[in-house]
Chain A
Amino acid sequence: MRDGGVGDARLSLSVFLPRVNLGPSGFPSLAGYAPPCIIIASREGYVAETKFEKGSEVASRRKFLSLGAALGGALTACSDSGEPVPDEGPKRLGRAPNVYGERSPFEKEARRGAASKYPETGATRTPLQDSHGIITPSSLHFERHHAGVPAIDPAEHRLMIHGMVERPLVLTLDELKTLPSVSRLHFVECAGNSRGEWTDKKGATAQDSHGLASCSEWTGVLLSVLLEEVGVKPEATWLVAEGADACKMQRSLPLDKCRDDVIVAYGQNGEAIRPDQGYPLRLVVPGFEGNINVKWVRRLMLTEQAAMARDETSKYTDLLANGKARQFSFPMEAKSVITRPSGGQVLAGSGFHEISGLAWSGRGLIERVEVSIDNGASWQDAELQEPRHRIAFTRFRLPWTWDGAETVILSRATDETGYVQPTEQALLAVRGANSDYHNNCIKAWKISGDGRVTNV
């Protein structure tokens, strides 16, 4: 299975590229190995053949690469007799260790965002369709900023906690790091994830439709520890958090949640949080809509009223059919999406395929994911990857033998509270068409007879 978009040439997946070594430049080199010929094959059959002769290695390599690039890279190496050449093993040294790792130049997955007149208030989405397991690499964690990514010197950064407290406190990053710490896996999902899917199906890929969700291991201090240190006064019921970005992003959090599982985090996936994720310090508010996980956090103020900030009134409120809007609609409810096969991909042919996807719930553990391979007529339980984590991505898998006929595949998650991921019609019936945040409806992918997967 690969991305589509190579015109109509459907390429065979019997790929033999056994000897692509990394040269000193970091680019693929075929040194020491010259396949006598390369066959570019399509489903329709034989397409092109190129002879490689001894002594013309550079020229033939260039030809090899450009042909591969032009046709999407499905190449078959063979001898004159047409048999694949066995791998002889590398004959050249690879590159020496380096101080900070990079992925293979062959890997191209990237975040994607829409072009905008004001790119500083914009988003990029995680390529969920290419993800493995449950962790999103920090470099691919989705972004949503409202005033750009600030460049913060951690030595200068301070966290101030004040308001209705006994002892207002200013903490340095070093001080925070001396406090008892936790590391927990949590997803973060923008309340606007899948907004373009509401009453319309705009996203061609799982990245477009669901890519404003990502999952990391976050390390930091529980906010409850800090609240003990400052001594919250009994009148306080809210905590107003503020970031150090240019718009000084501000959100109000209910104090109960702050005393429960909120993390003041400085670590992500084993290293410092990335600048675009809030370096050097952010809130992780497990299961609550992304915007409230205030990045670059620098101030926490205890109050007895919510701030009624712009991003909890004008935005991130859910306008219902009667013209009233739900406010402080924090939890991201149970949701799932099949990432393979998903929009934009092409099944190479009938036969075995693993259906795989991600499920998550802001209310706790995922208990069950059902998959339908017949557009909802019947459902089967998918296997859940263990160990499962609360309020984190859960990978599900289902072995599937495709008969080659057109069909629609769906997934449906159930969380530990018994909540079942709803259909879009069910949500529309209670919310009306104007409520487009918090869209967690069941996602369908259509598989055409030619193997193409599209959003329906």
Chain B
Amino acid sequence: MFSRIRALVLGLGVIVLLLGTGLAQSPHYKVGSAPSEEQLKTWSITILPDGTGLPEGKGTAAEGKDVYDRRCSECHGNKAQGADSSALIGGQGSLAGPKPLKTVTSYWPYATTMWDYVNRAMPFDTPGILTNDQIYAVVAYVLFLDGIVEENQELNRETLPKIQMPNRDGFVKDDRPDVGPTAHTPNR
């Protein structure tokens, strides 16, 4: 009798333990659960500058003009020169002058950033409505408007990360403090 109860308690204990490890993933505090494949896939939208994360799909500037005119021009101007919202093109060569114009084409170091940003945030008032093909196409169109890609050049997960943006080497690391007694390079 006694040993049967003991076996039962032991058995229950083992089941609880097994269940526990299935649900609680973290080693110290036993909290959380493992994400499903589905969740990992739908949530992981970050596009890294080497192209990691870019999905299937393709588009050209020629195809992107239509997307741009319908979805973007109202706020960014009919030629991406800026309207109520900022200019997306122009300003190449202006960065060291008195009136720098920072745009996608004059300032952004990576074309992948535009894909990532449009995918997550644009159009401003209806983010998330563009298909992957439309995003490749509209990125191609904006870059085409400022002479960075050809009109019929196809952008996809292979070609997009290879685009050399004009200001690719325009960034330096933070070297502050840049003034005063603790400055890294005093009296520069």
Contacts and interface: CB of A to CB of B under 8 A. Distances in A.
B43 A169 contact: no
Contacts, number: 174
10 contacts: A118-B85, A167-B27, A229-B28, A310-B116, A313-B171, A314-B104, A323-B170, A325-B170, A327-B172, A419-B177
Interface range, B side: 35 or more
A248 B127 CA distance: 10
B49 to A, nearest CB: 4
A142 interface: no
Contacts of B153: none
A326 B28 contact: no
B31 interface: yes
Nearest to A147: B121
A426 B174 contact: no
Contacts of B27: 167, 229, 231
A49 interface: no
Nearest to B169: A324
B81 interface: no
Interface string B87-119: 000000001101010101001111011101100
B151 to A, nearest CB: 25
B22 interface: no
Given A171-B32, A229-B29, A314 B176 contact: no
Contacts of A313: 107-110, 113, 171
Interface residues of A, number: 68
Nearest to A415: B182
B176 A331 contact: yes
A310 B120 CA distance: 11
Interface string A303-321: 1011111100110010111
Interface of A: 117-118, 120-121, 146-147, 160, 162, 167-171, 175-176, 178-179, 225, 228-231, 240, 242, 246-248, 250, 298-299, 301, 303, 305-310, 313-314, 317, 319-331, 333, 417-420, 422, 426-427, 429-431, 433-434, 438
A176 B31 CA distance: 8
Contact of B174 (A120, A229, A328): A328
B39 to A, nearest CB: 7
B116 A307 contact: yes
Q: Which 7 A-B pairs have the closest CB atoms?
A: A323-B96, A247-B121, A229-B26, A323-B95, A310-B117, A329-B174, A169-B32
B113 A418 contact: no
A308 B115 CA distance: 12
B102 A240 contact: no
Nearest to B114: A310
Interface in B62-85: 84-85
